[in-house]
Chains A and B, each alone.
Chain A
Amino acid sequence: MNNMHTFLRFGDASERAHHIDKRRRSGLVWHALFISATALAVLFLMLLLVSVIDSVFGYAALQNEVEPSQLIPGARSVSDFSRDELESVAEKHLSAGILRRVQYENPLSERSDADLTRLIEQYIVKPRVLRTWGLWDSLVNKDVSLAFVEANEQSYLVFRNWLSPAFLVADQSADPLKAGIRTAFLGSLWIILITFLVAFPIGVGAAIYLEEYALDTRLNRMLQLNIFNLSAVPSIIYGLLGLALFVRALEPLTSGAIFSGVVDNTANGRTILSGGLTLGLLVLPIIIINTQEALKAVPDTLRMSAYGVGATQWQTIWYHVLPASVDRILTGTILALSRALGETAPLVVIGASTFISVDPSNIFSKFTTLPIQIYQWSARPQGAYRNIAAAAIVALLILLLVMNSTAITIRNRLARKKRLAS
Chain B
Amino acid sequence: MTTSNASKRAIMALSHVDIHYGSFQAVQDISLPMYEHHVTAFIGPSGCGKSTVLRSLNRMNDMIPGSRIQGSVTFDGDELYGPNVDPVLVRRQIGMVFQKPNPFPKSIYENIAWGARINGYRGDFDELVEQSLVQAALWDEVKDKLKQNALRLSGGQQQRLCIARAIAISPQVILMDEPASALDPIATGRIEELILELKERYSIVIVTHNMGQASRVSDYTAFFMVDEHRTGYLQEYAETEQLFLNPKHRKTEEYISGKFG
A301 at the interface (CB under 8 A from B): yes
Q: Can you name the residue of chain B whose Cβ is closest to the Cβ of A216? A: B65
A304 at the interface (CB under 8 A from B): yes
- Contact A420–B105 (Cβ < 8 Å): yes
Q: Can you name the residue of chain A whose Cβ is closest to the Cβ of B175? A: A308
Residue from A302, A312, A319 in contact with B88 in the complex, judged by beta carbons closer than 8 Å: A312
Q: Can you name the residue of chain B whose Cβ is closest to the Cβ of A418? A: B105
- Contact B114–A305 (Cβ < 8 Å): no
Contacts A216-B65, A319-B114, A418-B105 given: A308-B98 contact, CB under 8 Å? yes
Contacts A319-B114, A320-B104, A419-B151 given: A309-B166 contact, CB under 8 Å? yes
Interface centre among B63, B102, B119, B169 (most CB of A within 10 A): B102
A310 at the interface (CB under 8 A from B): yes
Interface hits, A389-422 → B, CB 8 Å? 418-422
- Contact A302–B89 (Cβ < 8 Å): no
A382 at the interface (CB under 8 A from B): no
- Contact A311–B115 (Cβ < 8 Å): yes
B214 at the interface (CB under 8 A from A): no
> In the complex, what residues of A have CB within 8 A of residue B95's CB?
308-309
Summed over the interface, the residue pairs from A and B with CB atoms below 8 Å come to a total of 72
- Contact B100–A310 (Cβ < 8 Å): no
- Contact A309–B169 (Cβ < 8 Å): yes
- Contact A420–B152 (Cβ < 8 Å): yes
Report the minimum CB–CB distance from B173 to chain A (whole Å). Answer: 12
> In the complex, what residues of B have CB within 8 A of residue A421's CB?
151-152
Contacts A301-B100, A305-B98, A305-B103 given: A310-B152 contact, CB under 8 Å? no
> In the complex, what residues of B have CB within 8 A of residue A324's CB?
105
Interface centre among B96, B98, B104, B152 (most CB of A within 10 A): B104
A232 at the interface (CB under 8 A from B): no
Report the minimum CB–CB distance from B78 to chain A (whole Å). Answer: 17
Residue from B60, B65, B114, B168 in contact with A307 in the complex, judged by beta carbons closer than 8 Å: B60
Q: Can you name the residue of chain A whose Cβ is closest to the Cβ of B59? A: A307
Assembled-state Cα–Cα distance A319/B106 (Å):
11
> In the complex, what residues of A have CB within 8 A of residue B103's CB?
305
A 288-312 binary contact with B (CB < 8 Å = 1; else 0): 0000000000010111111111111
Q: Can you name the residue of chain A whose Cβ is closest to the Cβ of B86? A: A312
Beyond A308-B96, A310-B169, 19 additional pairs, beta carbon < 8 A: A302-B102, A304-B60, A304-B96, A305-B162, A307-B60, A307-B91, A308-B58, A308-B91, A308-B98, A309-B114, A309-B115, A309-B118, A309-B168, A310-B92, A310-B118, A311-B115, A312-B88, A418-B105, A419-B105
The 8 closest A-B pairs by CB, nearest first: A309-B115, A310-B92, A420-B149, A308-B96, A301-B102, A305-B102, A310-B91, A312-B88
Can you list 28 residue pairs at the A/B interface with Cβ under 8 Å?
A216-B65, A302-B105, A303-B63, A304-B102, A305-B98, A305-B102, A305-B104, A305-B165, A306-B104, A307-B91, A308-B91, A308-B96, A308-B97, A308-B166, A309-B92, A309-B95, A309-B118, A309-B166, A309-B168, A310-B115, A311-B88, A311-B115, A312-B88, A312-B118, A315-B118, A319-B114, A319-B118, A419-B105
